[in-house]
Amino acid sequence: MLHRGVTLQRRPRRVSVLSVHTSPLEQPGTGDAGGMNVYIVETARRMAQRGVEVEVFTRATSSEHPPVAELAPGVLVRHIAAGPFEGLGKNDLPSQLCAFTAGVLRAEARHDPGHYDVVHSHYWLSGQVGWLARDRWGVPLVHSAHTLARVKNAALAAGDEPEPMVRVIGEDQVVAEADRLIGNTESEARELVELYGADPGRVVTIPPGVDLDRFVPGDRAAARRALGIAPGAVVLAFVGRIQPLKAPDVLLRAAAEMLRRDPGLRARLVVLVAGGPSGSGLAEPTSLQQLGASLGITDVLRFLPPQRGAGLVDVYRAADLVAVPSHNESFGLVALEAQACGTPVVAARVGGLPVAVADGRSGLLVPGHGSGQWADALRAALLRRDVLGAAAVGHARRFSWDRTTESLLDTYAGAAAEFAERQGVPAGMIAL
């Protein structure tokens, strides 16, 4: 769905980005850091390269965090003290929104009126703060949900806790107030309209991207040497946060089924898991290792901490396949990154993954989470690995952070034009 607003030629000078519960400076793959962190970092850097100043407000989680840190030239991260530095999960943070909002408003108050041209909130907690900042600053609010409680609750992993009602209500409020709502896919855009009553005229579909300079095909043998993996191994990889929602257990169960069907595979199979416990997974941080032991596959399991930079690229290049078995995924950046490196993806047919993965061309989509289904799909993808891998690169190149950033800047300008019209200010007077 595309907005009906008029896009101005002039872009924002300065953007306020709100990310209450996780800092863009944190390592994706553990804690609450994941695809949203990557999204904020990559788009903020590219906005700055286009001459737009970006200030990211996030909650300070350590006394060692400086009040202001430079993420990149033109991108500042402001750490706001709101509650204790440690020991607060996402479900505890609503009680600190008042303190966080006060910190954001005080920072803006040190500048002349009109310092920010737009506020972009990420996740519902930030949307609550953005709603107040929008009214105080007189600028449009653009909101990215990233995940939606009603969607997550409809597809819970076994034993996972449903999202609380306070979040559902909070999302309803933000959807009603935001000047623009950004969905990663057409499916998410429809969910905003059908499940939350969003005005279709305020919903914009902007797919995330992938860093096409970093994630490129490379020497698989060299990547395997860097990770200590044998050249002839069959490598199935999972990259991401270890929690029920992301379902790494599905890959382990499927691997056990593959070994049951073909015992000779054991000598070559490596199941590579790169990530750290997160969310409800923090309650049982060794649950995946315990599951591997109970399945009798400890000998083929290899665990790595969350990877960044060249280490992450090596994981993708070393793998024959990357599995994304999530129960819910608003898009799935891991799938794009892997494909950009020439590695096919086997993913669950949920959320935005049917967009991130071209079923039958760049990978395979699985309609459920049963170990037999996944074993079948993994084996089928392995047999077509080279053909799927070649097509995966082309598919991933349809997505880029530059394209995402350009669409965001157009969206900001359109939201500002409509906001000004509602306020009775001629569009030509907007400071964009």
* Cα 66 versus chain centre, distance: 25
Query: Which parts are annotated binding residues for 1D-myo-inositol 3-phosphate?
Result: 21, 32-37, 90, 123, 147, 167
Closest by CA to 22, choosing from 105, 88, 74, is 88
Task: Tell the residue number behind the tokens 């303190």, with chain if given.
Answer: 99
| DSSP state, residue 33 | B
For residue 55, what are the CA distances in angstroms to 73, 309, 335? 11, 24, 29
d(CA 345, CA 338): 7
Annotated binding-site residue numbers: 21, 27-28, 32-37, 90, 123, 147, 167, 241, 246, 307, 316-317, 319, 329, 337, 343
Q: Are 24 and 386 in contact (CB under 8 A)?
A: no
Answer yes or no: are the C-beta atoms of 378 and 345 closer than 8 Å: no
Residues annotated within a binding site for UDP-N-acetyl-alpha-D-glucosamine: 27-28, 35, 241, 246, 307, 329, 337
Cα(327)–Cα(372) distance, rounded to whole angstroms?
17
Instruction: Give the tokens for residue 366.
Output: 């699985």
Burial (CB count <10 Å: 0-12, 13-18, 19+), residue 189 = buried
Longest Cα separation, the chain? 73
| CB environment 27-47: b (16+ within 10 A), e (fewer) | ebbbbbbbbbbbbbbbbbbbb
Three-state DSSP state, 138:
coil
Distance of alpha carbon 198 from alpha carbon 403, whole angstroms: 25
Which residues are annotated binding-site positions for Mg(2+)? 316-317, 319, 343
- Host H or E run for residue 151: helix 149-153
Tokens found for residue 328: 């819910």
